Structure 1
Amino acid sequence: MNEVKEMTKRPIPIDKEVAWDKTQTIMSKTDLYGTIEYANEVFVDVCGYEDYELMAQPHNIVRHPDMPKVVFKVLWENIQKGNQFHGIVKNLAKSGRYYWVITNFEYSRDENGDIVNYIARRKAVPQDVIAKHIEPLYKKLLQIEQVSGVGASEKYLIGFLEEQGLSYVDLITKLMVEDQKNQQLQQVSQTSVVGEIEEEEKKGFFSRFFGI
């Protein structure tokens, strides 16, 4: 029992980003309670824990204290229902460094159609999306939580999303698609970019983004 506690001891965060190949995909598989059953080599390399340190541990072993709890509340409410969900999360490596990822979930079901495992793919998030949109929002939510609790931050998030007429997933999708469009606008003419982006949206942006 003491051995498990030692492995799950949280490192002290430092304001430095993990250096990793951001073209790679982090993968993990957990049970219904978020206990890690599988982590690919990219996950091991990025988070800094060995695979034997990750197995049978809660996935929040990499949770960063900068993350507002309400985001995980929204995440769990969606994946427990088997909804398509894409969340942007700041994670904490064993070294204390951070890394930002966007997650895509798949579900493993039994013969009765009940979910038995969560399979997550994670990729790097464009810096502009983090700096201009996600980080300011998450800092606000975290401040509210620290003063008034998760219920208050949830109400703020609901109001924020209602003002924009979007769900959380719609907001994330909008930010990611707009960032890709802006990147492409720097390379080719606006006319061809618009046509390409529209076509990608029809096919499903995240299916293309995660290569599934």
Structure 2
Amino acid sequence: MHTNNSLRPSKVIDEEVKWDKSKTIISKTDPVGTILYMNDTFEEASEYNKIELIGEPHNVIRHPDMPKVVFKVLWDNLKQGNNFHAIVKNLTRTGRYYWVITDFDVEKDDSGKIIGYTGRRKSLPESVVKKIEPLYKTLLEIEKVKGEKASELYFNSYLQEEVNSSYDDFVVNLFEGETANTKEADKKAPVKESGMIKKGLNWFFFGETNPK
């Protein structure tokens, strides 16, 4: 499905949009990424209203600073039925940007066929942005000069050599590590689990915190 270019801003502005970062951005899409539902926080952060975006492909908010390989990894996992986390820079209606960490639920029918996805997105610490931005810039430059395949090869090698983990685990570890630092090592920070989705992100997205 092709992006409706009339919905894209005419120019990109290097300025973060103002939105309530305590809230969660929620959207639902069909299996190919067509937006079926978006909440009010999505409207606030993206500066698009529901009338504009319902029925449109989700990539209408894709920021040109985002390397394509990140979305390839994301969609490869979602199509396999894997819930997935990613760090994404999105584009607003006026050309501004907002950074989020994503969490996806894969929805299936009784036969196990994927019928859609629910995405939840929340703001993340500036320290996480500063750590992920140089990697994304490198991937984007490789894509521009050498193509998407070369970018993918570098990305896979980076994950193997630099962080020794999958992209999903890298995102979760990076986020949780930085969040723990900013909160002076929250004692409730969960231990790694072999299955990864981590409890830390569960309570981040769903408020599943235990009272002290």
TM-score of the superposed pair, with normalisation by structure 2: 0.89
Q: Which runs of 5+ in 1 are unaligned?
A: none
Partner Cα distance (1:180, 1:5) in 2:
37
Partner Cα distance (2:141, 2:132) in 1:
14
State the one-letter code of the partner of 1:120.
G
Q: Assess if the C-alpha contact under 8 Å between 2:4 and 2:56 holds in 1.
A: no
Specify the structure having the higher radius of gyration (Cα).
1
Question: Is 1:32 aligned to 2:31, yes or no?
Answer: yes
Q: Secondary structure at the match of 2:32?
A: coil
> Which aligned runs of 4 or more in structure 1 are off by greater than 6 angstroms?
none
Q: Assess if the C-alpha contact under 8 Å between 1:7 and 1:53 holds in 2.
A: no
Partner Cα distance (2:128, 2:145) in 1:
26
Question: Is 1:74 aligned to 2:73, yes or no?
Answer: yes
Corresponding residue for residue 205 of structure 1: 200
Give % identity: 47
Q: How does 1:115-126 map to 2 (within 5 A)?
A: 115-126=114-125
Q: Secondary structure at the match of 2:75?
A: helix
Q: Assess if the C-alpha contact under 8 Å between 1:48 and 1:94 holds in 2.
A: yes
Q: Assess if the C-alpha contact under 8 Å between 1:36 and 1:59 holds in 2.
A: yes
Q: Assess if the C-alpha contact under 8 Å between 1:35 and 1:59 holds in 2.
A: yes
Partner Cα distance (2:145, 2:59) in 1:
23
RMSD value over aligned CA atoms? 1.7
Question: Is 1:196 aligned to 2:188, yes or no?
Answer: yes
Q: Secondary structure at the match of 1:197?
A: coil
Q: Deviations over 1:70-93 (max 9, x none)?
A: 000000000011112100000000
Q: 1:148 aligns with which of 146, 151, 165?
A: 146
Question: Is 1:65 aligned to 2:64, yes or no?
Answer: yes
Q: Deviations over 1:73-117 (max 9, x none)?
A: 000000011112100000000011000011100122112111101
